[in-house]
Copies of this chain bind each other. A is one copy, B any other.
């Protein structure tokens, strides 16, 4: 691999220039700003080095779909990334304009630098380097999504319409930060999620004067408080009957992987600035994060500061789901529990969900890639020992489509640093992380020679 890494190092200035070109184009999925132009730019860029690429419309923002077919390739890899970004938020908080990429302290600052244009481009460049050197061993299908930041709304339908084109042996993606310890990170799964809205309405359906009617009319805010209290105890255990039924303990292989993931509670508390880790103390922090489901109040809204009994109270609830929990099954359990409390005017709605996905640590396609990363470290091309997370705390709706619907094993690596400002102001990617990402991409593809 040494010659490949050297070729990558020689291309540094060019790659940075290409990244800056991409970062100059807004592509905000929430507002749609710049989406078509950015998709077009990526498509032409792929075509420019011989990729058969096109912009595929969906019900929402388009997908950029591209294919590289080296002669004699036995395997095919989906290289996934998302070209859409979050809104920039308060411009006053940015040290340099979000769409004018700026280099400072060895990093490139711009919206999308870390999430996900920098990481998307690193993997695509890795494919190009291998192709140009005549060393690309596997066929590649690029799938660049435009709706990741708004929940991959059209992705399942896109996958169903292009099922044949998406056949492959492996899904490879890079997004998000390395583990908080800073070690190079591979994730082999995501928790699922289940987002719900829980509403309680009073019988009048309108705000009521709190003096004239005393509290003669049921107050939906109190009703919702008491209802929520039955759903989770103060120590963080969900009280929904059967909620933990499908929760499996880590396998022996996973337990060994967990042992390798830093999880020192005192250290994490210090880094986060909190006094203790929330939740039942009988689980370690990594068990909680990777192997336990959650039940979270994301938001609670009702009434105002104005001597009223609110007409309705509403909260947003979210579960992170682990391996064998289905969004539908968990929703049913929660719905049954809510109904059993017989709170007048209470209604639970499922708003959005994705299933947990997990690729086995010893999957035959995955194993050589992990070994390649470990060799990289041994050879000095990776700045730390590899950290393999059997699953991650977060969720990813499009990864779920690839793993669940299309049945692919999935590797997600993380080329950004933990403190990358993603979704916030001053988003950035360290240039050495960007370059390491290109090398990891090249190492992963090379390992698929098969």
Query: Are the C-beta atoms of A203 and B316 separated by less than 8 Å?
Result: no
Task: State the CA gap A204–B232 with chains docked (Å).
Answer: 22
Query: Is A324 interfacial (CB 8 A cutoff)?
Result: no
Query: Are the C-beta atoms of B302 and A300 separated by less than 8 Å?
Result: yes
**Which of these, B219, B305, B313, contacts A278 with CB under 8 Å?**
B219
The residues in A between 268 and 305 inclusive whose CB is less than 8 angstroms from any CB of B are 268, 272-275, 277-279, 285, 288-289, 292, 294, 296-305
Query: Is A148 interfacial (CB 8 A cutoff)?
Result: no
Chain B positions within 8 Å of A215 at CB level: 236, 278-279, 288, 294, 296
Number of A interface residues in the complex (CB < 8 A): 68
Query: Are the C-beta atoms of B225 and A393 separated by less than 8 Å?
Result: no
* A 226-263 binary contact with B (CB < 8 Å = 1; else 0): 10110010101000000000000000000000000000
Closest to A285 in B: B216
Chain B positions within 8 Å of A268 at CB level: 216
Task: State the CA gap A48–B316 with chains docked (Å).
Answer: 60
Q: How far is the CB of A24 from chain B (nearest CB, A)?
A: 27
* A 190-202 binary contact with B (CB < 8 Å = 1; else 0): 0101010100001
Query: Are the C-beta atoms of A300 and B298 separated by less than 8 Å?
Result: no
Query: Are the C-beta atoms of A298 and B294 separated by less than 8 Å?
Result: no
A212-B305 CB under 8 A given contacts A273-B204, A274-B203: no
Query: Are the C-beta atoms of A304 and B300 separated by less than 8 Å?
Result: no
Query: Are the C-beta atoms of A320 and B203 separated by less than 8 Å?
Result: no
Task: State the CA gap A288–B275 with chains docked (Å).
Answer: 44
Chain B positions within 8 Å of A278 at CB level: 215-219
Query: Is A116 interfacial (CB 8 A cutoff)?
Result: no
A210-B294 CB under 8 A given contacts A216-B289, A229-B226: yes
Instruction: Report, nearest first, the 9 A-B pairs whose CB atoms are least far apart.
Output: A211-B394, A299-B303, A221-B297, A229-B229, A203-B274, A214-B289, A305-B316, A226-B234, A215-B294
16 residue pairs of the A-B complex, CB under 8 angstroms, read A191-B211, A214-B279, A214-B292, A215-B296, A216-B288, A216-B289, A217-B272, A218-B278, A219-B278, A221-B300, A222-B232, A298-B310, A300-B301, A301-B302, A305-B316, A305-B351
